[in-house]
A and B are shown apart, each in its own frame.
Chain A
Amino acid sequence: MTSPAASPETSTDVLAVANMPLLWVSALGVFLVIIVQTAIYMKAARRAGPGVGMDRHDLRVSFRSGAVAALGPSVAVVIVALSLLALFGTPGVLVRIGLIGSVAYETGAASIAAGAAGAELGGPGYTQTAFAVAFFAMSAGGAMWMLATLLLTPVLQRSEKRIARLNPLVLTVVPGAALVAAFLSLGIAEVRISAAHTTALVVGGASMGLAAYAASRLSLPWIREWGLGLSILSGLAAAYVADQAGLGLGIS
């Protein structure tokens, strides 16, 4: 911390700038947009449900499964968010994590942008000016992500319609195959990192498989639903145990 008289170029009192009221308004605005979008999507799903053979119970189960499945990734994001609070202030972190929610992007972009501004995150050169530059670059980078989504989604939708006209069966197979491919690709990427990552992947996968099998054998769908959360927790526990056993990367 430096004296209040210090200029932004020399003052390392970043939080004085990072907690400005307008940034709070921006953070609240982002969350309001997320809440409104969620409400619209849920309402649209409720309206479409009966037409595609999903009654209110099915929809409730789907919403609950989605919420449970989101818990694991959200925990990782919250942990990173806590570590970024001292560097970017509460409103800045809420905006970034609320919108993109990608741990890898936020930490990477923050560090790269601060480095380009000649500073190290939290280091002696991390002044109010460096914070503003890093925060802007991070946010502009996040905006590019959203812009790409906005521009590419209609292109993909047009391709989807064209495929549906050529062979409707493809559209029933492709989404399932794409999900399997996406999760396999994510899973295999973890294997090469460390034995602890592999252990977490295997234990998490086995837990989910076991839950799906039990749900089917016992005709208890709630086991499959909660199995998502359970497999995430067992994966986390396995990663911790494997790391403590020296199978991890040794990051404390």
Chain B
Amino acid sequence: MSTSTLGNPPRSMAQFTATTTRAGRLTMIIGLMVSLSGPLYLVLFADLGVTASALLTAFAAVAGTFFIIWLVEPVT
């Protein structure tokens, strides 16, 4: 890493953090919605005989196993 061309480190990093935080949050929310659109279409409109109780049971089973990891992994 060269150090001879140092500009304004705090301001550069602050801009970088601001841009990536804003863009990261926005793209993540869009990705979240897009990723759920397919499964939601299947269970709501594809007429596959899916019941709400089956969805809840399956989600509860996944949550029971992964709930702690959902919280811990993003932090670590």
Q: Hey, which bits of chain A sit against chain B, CB under 8 A? A: 7-9, 17, 20, 22-23, 26-27, 29-30, 33-34, 36-37, 40-41, 44-45, 47-55, 58, 91-92, 95-96, 99, 105, 108-109, 112-113, 115-117, 128-129, 132-150, 152-153, 156-157, 182
Tally A-B pairs: CB < 8 A: 207
- Complex interface: chain A residues within 8 A of B24 (CB): 37, 41, 153
20 A-B Cβ contacts within 8 A?
A: A8-B48, A23-B38, A30-B34, A41-B23, A52-B6, A92-B38, A99-B31, A109-B65, A115-B61, A117-B54, A128-B48, A132-B43, A132-B50, A133-B58, A141-B62, A144-B63, A145-B70, A147-B32, A149-B28, A150-B28
Give B26-59 interface residues, CB cut-off 8 Å to A.
27-32, 34-43, 46-50, 54-55, 57-59
Given A33-B30, A51-B12, also A144-B70 (CB < 8 A): yes
A133 touches B6 (CB 8 A): no
13 additional A-B pairs beyond A44-B23, A135-B39, A140-B62, beta carbons within 8 Å, are A45-B16, A47-B12, A48-B15, A92-B38, A99-B35, A105-B66, A128-B48, A137-B55, A139-B36, A141-B63, A142-B35, A143-B35, A182-B76
| B62 CB, nearest partner CB in chain A, Å | 4
Q: How far, in whole Å, are A149 and B21 apart by their CA atoms in the complex?
A: 12
Once the chains bind, are B46 and A132 in contact (CB under 8 Å)?
A: yes
Among B15, B47, B49, B75, which residue has the most Cβ atoms of chain A within 10 A? B49
Q: CB-nearest residue of chain A relative to B24? A: A37
What is the CA–CA distance of A113 and B27 in the complex, to the nearest angstrom? 27
Enumerate chain B residues within 8 angstroms of A29, measured Cβ to Cβ.
34, 37
Q: How far is the CB of A185 from chain B (nearest CB, A)?
A: 8
Contacts of A55 in B (CB 8 A): 2, 5
Is the pair A148, B16 in contact by a Cβ cutoff of 8 Å?
Answer: no
B56 to chain A, nearest CB (A): 9
Chain B residues with a Cβ closer than 8 Å to the other chain, count: 60
Residue contact A50 to B35, C-beta cutoff 8 Å: no
Is B75 touching A47 in the complex (CB atoms < 8 A)?
Answer: no
CB-based contact A150/B25 at 8 Å: yes
Chain A residues contacting B42 (CB-CB under 8 Å) are: 17, 20, 23, 132, 135-136
Q: Return A182 CB to nearest CB of chain B, in Å.
A: 7
A20 to B40, CA, bound (A): 13
- Residues in chain A near residue B57, CB distance under 8 A: 116-117
Chain B residue, CB-CB nearest to A37: B27
